[in-house]
Amino acid sequence: MPVERHERVGSLVDGRYRILAAMAEGSMGVVYRAERVPVGKAVAIKFLHASFASDPEFLGRFERETRVMSKLAHPHCVSVLDFGVSEGAPYLVMDFVAGQTLRQLLDEEPLPPVRALGLMRQILAGLAHAHAQGIVHRDIKPANIMVTEEIGTGAHVRILDFGLARLRGAISSSATQSMVIVGTPSYMAPEQTVGGAVDARADIYAAGVVLFEMVTGRKPFAADDAFDLLGMHRGAPIPRIADLLPEGTAIPPGLQAMIDKAMAKEPAGRYQSAIEFADAIDADTPPVGVRRLSSASLRIEAEDAHDATAVDTSQAQTREATAAPPRRSRGPAIAVALALVGGVGLAAALLGRGGGETPVAAVAHDAGTADAPAVAVAAPVPDATPVIEAVDAAIAIDAPLDAGDGDAASADGDAALDDAGTAVAVEEPEPADPTKVEDPDPAAGTTVAEDEADDAPADTAAALARTPVAPSPAQATTIAGAVKLIKEGQRGLALASLRTLARSNPRSAYIPFLEGNLYYDQRWWSVAMDHYRLAISRNGAYRGNPILIRNVIRTLASGKTRGKAIYFLRRTIGRPAAPYLRAAAAHDPNATVRKQAAALARVIR
């Protein structure tokens, strides 16, 4: 029987690691803070869901990947210390890193160019080490970069999540036997968007996107549709950073050219290695006041690693020939990585798009205040649920989306079928004025909550993993029917109905708005904001919806959701939130909300 998250707290894993607290949860598993006994060393343990242990193919990949990741041992890479299977669940033991993700830093404000270049120099040092071991990250983004303040060295970068992207791909491909694309849409290199061969230069492209975002505070490309976004990565020109910065901002010479080269559409046009990218930083825009890392030393490390890899391969073959037990591994990261799988209809729709353009296999959308989560897309899978779920909803509004459920629309637009074979409505009419749409059950949210629920999932993917929905004849077959269920208090059945209806209404903004209200009333506030963000990305008029704005303002009360709410109000809603913020600052019963709303009201006008 699977072990619940809370049941692990206080337990001893394999006689070596005592679980102290759960830190985060994603679609692949749960991350805990733990200590190595008896020495008391702090570690992080990521338990993958027990369902993976029943897949021999995945377990084989898990062991192979952890062996590869064991080669990572670098100051700018989070290391894996151990791995195993406990009570049916595979786990990884990693360095415990306290600090902020780069995503959290950028949620507050862009970085001065000099600081951004200093951090990028460290990111490239970690990538150079990984690439020398033959390891391509595939999902470089601000949410996978941890920044800590170290005594004597200042800001120190560590890259998270090495290896887990490949494991996500293994999960999807073993389930579907079809092509899988893994990555986060806003940071994917052009060759990733079409299922092409991926090498270290895909990480170089993503690093260029991250540098652009660090300096400007926004991603280089945004679109209402995820597929359009991927097309922009393949064909749209890179915006000029000077056009996005306040007048008079000092831009280091060569910075734009550096970003342009890192983000070249063709891999051959980019920097061919992280070392070459680092050399460009040193030559064109040397950072001031940051610890410099020698490119020469990186080359020496790469050459040494190449030699060590050959030796390690030989030794591994010897170990396997003698049936020696696998050595414990060192390698990836503690950041939550989300894997979402699109349904067969989504794949069909993708293949039908683009007027001759190379088709994209699929895409999905980071946790907490993270970016759009990583995507593993394939077809078909059972119970492919709503599109929030399959789309980087933040792309149109320059805001991070923590996760999505999978969703698919039929390629030809005909009526879709739910898993029970029941016909569901297609493309139902949307409300004429989203600013006047009301909550069908406003009484459910009248109790003023002071905090997000203790059991609230970190993101939408985690919510779906915890509360899978089985098709039921009692489900509503129209949006109006789902609204009726909400009014009758049948909220669980209404949510299940909306998830099914989302398949045949892939452009609906009203459905995720309703889902957001249901999750808000349930006090799953992070998940509610994911759905609100998707509603806005499909219909910008929802930025002015009073119910949505007031609910997001209320989430300022919780320390778990405050950072995400601040970003949402500033970047996603913007000016329409101003009068509601002023009202909350004057009248909200919660002192924290009043304080935060007053501060936001001063910057959102």
Give the tens place of pLDDT for each residue, 139-184.
899 988 999 877 666 789 999 877 665 555 444 444 333 344 557 8
Alpha-carbon span 295 to 235, nearest angstrom: 32
CATH superfamily ID and name for 5-97: Phosphorylase Kinase; domain 1 (3.30.200.20)
Q: Among residues 150, 90, 163, which one has the least CA distance to residue 333?
A: 163
For 187-206, the pLDDT digits (tens) are 999 998 887 778 999 999 99
Q: Which 3 state secondary structure label does DSSP give 391?
A: coil
> Rounded mean pLDDT of 519-528?
93
- Of 349, 378, 372, 394, nearest to 534 by C-alpha is 394
pTM, entire model = 0.52
**CA nearest 91: which of 328, 366, 338?**
328
Whole-number Å distance between alpha carbons of 336 and 21: 15
Separation between Cα atoms, residue 428 and residue 90, nearest integer Å = 44
3-class secondary structure, 101: strand
Residue 592, SS3? Answer: helix
Task: Please name the amino acid found at residue 218.
Answer: R
The residue written with tokens 């915890």 in the block is 466
Is the Cβ–Cβ distance between 479 and 505 less than 8 Å? Answer: yes
State how far the Cα of 395 lies from the Cα of 359, in Å rounded to an integer: 19
CA dist 110 and 221 (Å) reads: 16
The total number of residues shown for the chain amounts to 605
Q: Could you give the C-alpha distances from 511 to 362, 387, 565, in angstroms and in order?
A: 22, 10, 21
Longest CA–CA span in the chain (Å) reads 73
- By C-alpha distance, which of 404, 408, 570, 577 is closest to 501? 408
C-alpha span between 77 and 122 (Å, rounded): 10
Q: What span, in angstroms and rounded, lies between the C-alpha atoms of 598 and 578?
A: 10
Q: What is the mean pLDDT of residues 399-418?
A: 31
Mean of pLDDT over the chain: 73
Q: Is the peptide bond before 38 cis (omega within 30 degrees of 0)?
A: yes
Closest CA to 368 of 398, 337, 396, 343: 337
Q: Which two tokens stand for residue 322?
A: 């003698």
What's the rounded mean pLDDT across residues 33-52? 85
CA distances from 541 to 19, 304, 508, 518, 572 (A): 46, 57, 13, 20, 12
Position 495: which residue type?
A: L
Q: Compute the distance between CA of residue 13 and CA of residue 33 in angstroms, rounded to an integer.
A: 12
Rg over CA atoms, the chain:
24
pLDDT for 362: 29
**What is the SS3 assignment for 106?**
helix
Of 196, 87, 193, 182, the C-alpha closest to 137 is 182
Please report the pLDDT score of residue 217 as a whole number.
93
Active-site residue list: 139
What is the dihedral angle through the alpha carbons of 240, 242, 245, 250, rounded to the nearest 10 degrees?
A: 140
| Identity at 595, one-letter amino acid code | K
**Per-residue pLDDT at 504:** 83
Mean pLDDT of the 24-36 span: 80
Query: How high is the pLDDT of residue 29?
Result: 74
Phi-psi region of 177 (alpha: psi -120 to 50; beta: other; left: phi over 0): left
Mean pLDDT along residues 328-333: 32
Rounded Cα distance, 59 and 170, in Å? 10
Other residues' Cβ atoms within 10 Å of the Cβ of residue 459: 30
What is the band of 429 on the pLDDT scale with cuts at 50, 70, 90?
confident
Residue 308 identity (one-letter amino acid) = A
Omega before residue 457 within 30° of 0, cis: no
468 confidence band (pLDDT: 50, 70, 90): low
d(CA 299, CA 129): 9
pLDDT at 566: 92
